Structure 1
């Protein structure tokens, strides 16, 4: 039986301010593209950055990996699919960036975030119940 996961898809275009002098997306902007996808997924879960703050937690990125396969170029339309891979110990996300027209995979990435209690400034070794419950509700109810 396949494990059910929460996914979200966003589309965007590579703009002039995203590229270098060769009209290729500058490598540092991929972190921004990951953030765009991550925010969409967090909204779907009902736990965006405002909700994180209200719940008393911040979620710094503690690990990130990016595999550049093919370049993203100026004016290219991109489809990003982000998947929640882990949600009990940490928030681990995987990303796949594709050419929106052909479906060709351009980049794969992963990011890991850990919850930090805003009052104590202590990292948590398990995700807070307020986040886990929202994820489980979506997984159980679609």
Structure 2
């Protein structure tokens, strides 16, 4: 299975009054991890958006395990859990500097036409992207 790692330094603005990372920031980190995963496959969300296609989140699950603090470096691991040509579910582990799991998560996305919000076939509109995802699935 292809797993992409991205290091993120925790900024002060990402913490709450308890000195730990505010829970919503994990969602931003997941986006950073997902974007890095796609980039390492040779693609960019911006190219998809230029074609009038966007990829909204349709489901999100996250479980918090250990806190992260200002000044620490989080590691976001990202992979594809599921892909069927229309829907993609990404899996995530966010690790502490000691390699312990701070959070686990999944986010499901569907590609839609920006103007109508109708789902599209990634295979039809972005065949190279589809083939790369199929190859990643075979590695699982």
TM-score by length of 1: 0.83
* 1:133 maps to which of 131, 134, 140: 131
Task: Tell me which residue corresponds to 2:30.
Answer: 34
Q: Distance in 2 between matches of 1:26 and 1:45?
A: 30
CA distance in 2: counterparts of 1:140 and 1:27, whole angstroms: 33
Q: CA RMSD in A?
A: 2.1
Contact 1:19 1:26 in 2 (8 A): yes
**Separation in structure 1 between the aligned mates of residue 38 and residue 107 of structure 2, nearest angstrom:** 14
Deviations 1:41-94 (A, max 9, x none): 111122321121234421001111110011111111111100111222411101
Partner of 1:78: 74
Give TM-score, length-normalised by structure 2: 0.84
Structure 1 residue runs without a partner (length 5+)? none
Matches for 1:59-98 after TM superposition, within 5 Å: 59-88=55-84, 89-98=86-95
The number of residue pairs the alignment matches comes to: 135
